[in-house]
């Protein structure tokens, strides 16, 4: 299994409230600066954020942009379904995540999320149902 597959599999479970694999791949000294809030986050903070989003977000198809022993960059699509909360239609985004490793575990990461004005599954050969 690649580092990208480990990362995606861990967070797919994390979005369902199971952080066992997340805990296995992150370094004890992991930290990440969150530009949205202006605070430095640790793994427990990331878990809280994920737990909050799990009801409205689906992680879709991903692809590896670059992967080595020390660095991983992946692209993935997300569907944000706010129907139950606000009655609005789902919206879509693409995320680019850069992950740095130390001693074989994730020590830092950054994610950039960019909104899309279309459903990416309509243009590529995959379906959201495959990821729900």
Q: Residue 89 maps to which CATH number?
A: 3.10.450.50
Residue 67 burial by CB count (10 A; 0-12/13-18/19+): exposed, middle or buried?
A: middle
> Rg of the chain over CA atoms, in angstroms?
15
C-alpha torsion angle, residues 86, 90, 92, 97 (rounded to 10):
60
pLDDT at 34: 75
Residue 86 burial by CB count (10 A; 0-12/13-18/19+): exposed, middle or buried?
A: exposed
pTM of the model: 0.86
Lowest-confidence pick of 25-29, 36-40, 51-55? 51-55
* Number of domains the chain is built from: 1
Higher per-residue pLDDT: 54 or 28: 28
Q: Which helix (H) or strand (E) is 100 found in, with range?
A: strand 91-102
| pLDDT exceeds cutoff 70 at 45 | yes
| pLDDT exceeds cutoff 70 at 92 | yes
Higher per-residue pLDDT: 9 or 87: 9
Confidence of residue 43 (pLDDT cuts 50, 70, 90): very high
| pLDDT exceeds cutoff 70 at 126 | yes
Residue 12 burial by CB count (10 A; 0-12/13-18/19+): exposed, middle or buried?
A: middle
């Amino acid at each position: 299994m690649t580092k990208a597959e480990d990362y995606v599999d861990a967070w797919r479970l994390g979005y369902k409230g199971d952080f066992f694999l997340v805990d296995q791949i992150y370094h004890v000294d992991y930290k990440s600066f969150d530009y949205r809030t202006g605070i430095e986050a640790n793994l427990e903070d990331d878990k809280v954020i994920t737990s909050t989003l799990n009801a409205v977000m689906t992680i879709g198809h991903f692809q590896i942009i670059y992967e080595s022993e020390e660095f991983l960059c992946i692209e993935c699509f997300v569907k944000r379904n706010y129907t139950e909360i606000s009655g609005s239609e789902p919206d879509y985004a693409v995320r680019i995540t850069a992950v740095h490793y130390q001693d074989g575990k994730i020590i830092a990461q950054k994610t950039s999320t960019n909104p899309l004005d279309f459903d990416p599954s309509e243009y590529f050969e995959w379906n959201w149902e495959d990821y729900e």
